[in-house]
Amino acid sequence: MVSPAFLAAACPELDGEAAEEAEIRRPKKRRLDHGDVAHCGLHSAFQAASCRPGRPWRACRWKRRSDVEPLEAAKPLKQAVDVMEFYAFMWRREGLRRRRELLRLPPEQWTHDTVMARIRLTNVKREDDRTTRVMRKICNRYVDEHPELKMLRRTPMSSWDFNLRLSARWLVFNFALWRAFGTDSFAKSVGFLTNKGWGKVQQDAVVAAAMQRWQMGHFNYTDAYDPSRSNHYDEVRARFRGGAVEVHRLYSRTCASLAGLWQACDEIVEVALTTNSWRSVTQCVMKVTGYGGTGFLAKELVQDLLHTPLFEFWSSHHSRWVSSCVDLNSWCAVGPGARRGLNRLHGRRVNWNAYCDDDRVAHQFLRELRQVFGERDKYWHGSLEGRPVFQLELHDVQFQLCELDKYEREKKKPGQVRPYRPRFNQEAGIAEPEATECSELSAVPQTALPQASRSTEKSGRRTSKPSWGVDEVPPEDTQTEKKINAAFDIFFAEQDRNAAKISKEMGDAGGTGEPDVGSKPD
């Protein structure tokens, strides 16, 4: 039976609390490679025009470091989070999902936790997240259409024909491609690729499909994790500066970066089938360029593969797929977010060794993760909203430690975590076009680069009415969008006036040069 103390922590009475006002902070100045400071005029105009605080400008996209911070450098927190509070947080998060999805209650009845209600948090089970569900549905349809995959684990690799080897390779690569962009809309647009290679022709086809969605008002990159988060910001800024050329460059760079993974797919498949260990497969993926560091991206990819024929075998007796993974609850790569969550539990400075790729640090965080996982039976049992709770896995705890860090950050400094917005295209009945889920992308013109209109590139206004998705601006924010567009019009008009004034002054002085727009006089 759940203890009263746990229930008190899991169900706080927050209705009477004063609403926490968002702290609006001045955006940080971005420092360029040669030491100069970019004043970020566009970012400042965007933040001033919006009604909520923006995300602080980050100067460094990659925080990975190999040097280990000693324990003495971990300054203690003023107030640490104990394990019971962490499991109470998970209990509230799963209760919110059940009231929303299973009981179909109105939003005001989802949770009494005002912090949890206003930010975007992943579900306790990764498989319950919308993007993962979409990717799983596309993959499962492909597996159902290819019954030879049921014999994948029972046939020695030396006896595989070309088609079976290619199918196993695409199980790995499609998830890598979908996660490189990270949105369910992108996964729907490209479907399950069945090409025989990953050259320029195939890359251009994927880029063209992504460009088509961008021209319709959609975004293809997620802002949930790096490096997709950084690309998402560039993708959004391209609405106002850079246009289609900049976005095309981003998409092409992402597709080209997957060439190394394509070459490693055969080795990844072989390790999965011979070891049945997701630790071994994760370490194999980490050797690919772009998947090293703390192993977060490699871990995310292998998590997707755990529910494919690479880690499951078909049981004719039970008529279902059965997992063959041997270390599901004994090992897990601990990403930066989960490390920050563990630091909060142990009262250390939040970012202590969060981005360190040293093996000793990784083992320490894994040991602490196992300790937290070992206490699950004390707090995670019984029923929730009339249904029994599921069995937790080690990765579920790792996953939610990252969400705990987001929750604590939002509670202490509101406005720093992605806000939650309902999926308007579903609730309003706006249907998006269904994408073919097994595609050669042959219908997409591979040489076509969508040309944005001149007015779109200058002012950032959309020329076509978008169908709103989770990563787009919802209909209620149209007034905010108008304010943003007006702010940018004022901003660029001021730049033009300054340029004209400078040009006139230089002309009066006998100069012949014409300064760039936005330049300042010496």
Interior/surface letters 147-165, b for 16+ CB within 10 angstroms, e for the rest: eebbebbeeeeeebeeebe
123-178 per-position pLDDT tens digit: 999 999 999 999 999 999 999 999 889 888 888 888 888 889 999 999 999 999 99
**What average pLDDT does range 193-214 have in this prediction?**
95
Contact 357, 65 (CB under 8 A): yes
**pLDDT for the residue numbered 447:** 34
Q: Name the least confident of 21-25, 119-123, 205-209, 308-312.
A: 21-25
100-114 per-position pLDDT tens digit: 999 999 999 999 999
387 bridge partner residues: 384
Which phi and psi angles does 322 have, rounded to 5°? -120, 135
438 versus 382: which is more confidently predicted? 382
Out of 263, 290, 317, pick the residue that ends a domain.
Answer: 290
497 versus 209: which is more confidently predicted? 209
Residue 213 lies in a domain: yes
Helix and strand tally (H, E) in the chain?
20, 8
Contact 23, 415 (CB under 8 A): yes
> Domain residues for 152?
126-290
Residue 4 lies in a domain: no
Which phi and psi angles does 292 have, rounded to 5°? -90, -135
82-97 per-position pLDDT tens digit: 999 999 999 999 999 9
Among 201, 186, 214, 250, smallest CA distance to 451 is for 214
Interior/surface letters 264-284, b for 16+ CB within 10 angstroms, e for the rest: bbeebbebbbeebbbbbbbeb
**pLDDT for the residue numbered 294:** 86
Pairing type for strands 383-384 and 30-31 reads unpaired
Residues 6+ apart with CB under 8 A from 281: 268, 271, 272, 275, 302, 305
How many C-beta atoms surround the C-beta of residue 128 within 10 A?
14
How many C-beta atoms surround the C-beta of residue 460 within 10 A?
22
Among 302, 308, 304, smallest CA distance to 321 is for 308
Out of 259, 290, 321, pick the residue that ends a domain.
Answer: 290
**pLDDT for the residue numbered 55:** 43
Q: Name the least confident of 316-325, 328-337, 397-406.
A: 316-325
Identify whether 70 is preceded by a cis peptide bond (ω within 30 of 0).
no
Residue 173 lies in a domain: yes
How many C-beta atoms surround the C-beta of residue 373 within 10 A?
18
Residues 6+ apart with CB under 8 A from 235: 214, 219, 220, 221, 247, 250
- End-to-end Cα spacing for the chain: 74
What region, left, alpha or beta, does residue 217 occupy, with left being phi > 0 and alpha being psi -120 to 50 degrees? Answer: left
**What average pLDDT does range 286-294 have in this prediction?**
93
**pLDDT for the residue numbered 362:** 95
Residue 262 lies in a domain: yes
Which phi and psi angles does 323 have, rounded to 5°? -70, 145
**What average pLDDT does range 490-501 have in this prediction?**
59
Q: Name the least confident of 121-130, 360-369, 443-452, 502-511.
A: 443-452
Distance CA 503, CA 247 (A): 32
Distance CA 441, CA 445 (A): 9
pLDDT category at 302 given cuts 50, 70, 90 is: very high
- Whole-angstrom CA distances from 499 to 194, 240, 489, 502 are 52, 19, 15, 5
Contact 208, 445 (CB under 8 A): yes
Distance of CA 197 to the CA centre of its chain: 26
Pairing type for strands 192-193 and 438-439 reads parallel
**pLDDT for the residue numbered 315:** 85
Distance CA 365, CA 335 (A): 9
Distance CA 467, CA 276 (A): 42
**pLDDT for the residue numbered 450:** 38
**pLDDT for the residue numbered 32:** 43
19 pLDDT more than 50: no
Domain count, the chain: 2
Residue 112: Cβ-neighbour burial (10 angstroms; 0-12, 13-18, 19+)? middle
Out of 246, 266, 290, pick the residue that ends a domain.
Answer: 290
Residue 358 lies in a domain: no
**pLDDT for the residue numbered 1:** 55
**pLDDT for the residue numbered 21:** 37
- Whole-angstrom CA distances from 495 to 491, 501, 511, 515, 519 are 6, 10, 20, 11, 8
Which phi and psi angles does 270 have, rounded to 5°? -65, -45
Contact 310, 171 (CB under 8 A): yes
Residues 6+ apart with CB under 8 A from 383: 389
